[in-house]
Amino acid sequence: MKKVTIVLAVMLSCVSFGAGQAVPSGQLSFNALNGPFGSAGVDIYGTYGVSTYGQLREDNFLFPAANGSFYGGSYQYSLDRFTCPLLTNMNVSCAKFGTYVNAGLGVGRTTIASSATNHIGGGFGAGIIYDPSGQGKYSVTLLDVHEERLAFDTVKGWTTIASVGINLGFGNNQLATEAKIERVRAQQAKKLKKMQERARKADKARG
């Protein structure tokens, strides 16, 4: 846990340092995992906004049953501007749902008794987040799926990791907020246009 504490402390220090930048925002997240050998684990991770759709992400995967832990950094990209138009046809508010993909590298550590070995690993993933308020202060990870080379001595090759959890937001990425508002406006405009078209068709049918 010392490693996790140090990594989180460094990340939060970077967030504090970057508070005066254009996009001082991010999330601290806690996910329950299903990992190697069907074992339970946890991913304590954080993200920090660096552009309208881009974030830096730092993961801390802990798998006690596999005697392993993985600490990695990745770049995460929001797909909301692509998925929002699709949600319009489903009558779902794009202000409350978020989608993303990411990819990165890290270090896998295997600890057995007093012996520990480290190896370079990495992978990629995708996820869906639900924000009940649409404000970004609290959200639920409905699904976060990763394909990772954990680089444990006890786990070889690629491992699929599925997780769910909670996210606590901090700061405000003005660029991302403005983009989200614009997406919501566009979605509402499309809904209104469809309603007007249906009304015109109904009037024509009655006439």
Q: How many Cβ atoms sit within 10 Å of the Cβ of residue 171? A: 17
Q: List the one residue out of 94, 90, 98, 4 whose CA is nearest residue 45.
A: 4
The predicted model scores a pTM of 0.74
The domain segmentation of the chain, as residue ranges, is: 2-206
- Choose among 126, 129, 150: nearest CA to 62: 150
Band (pLDDT 50/70/90 cuts) for residue 1 is very low
User: At the top level of CATH, which class does the domain 2-206 belong to?
Assistant: mainly beta
Q: Summarize pLDDT for 57-99 with one digit per residue, the tens.
A: 999 999 988 899 999 999 999 998 888 877 766 777 777 888 9
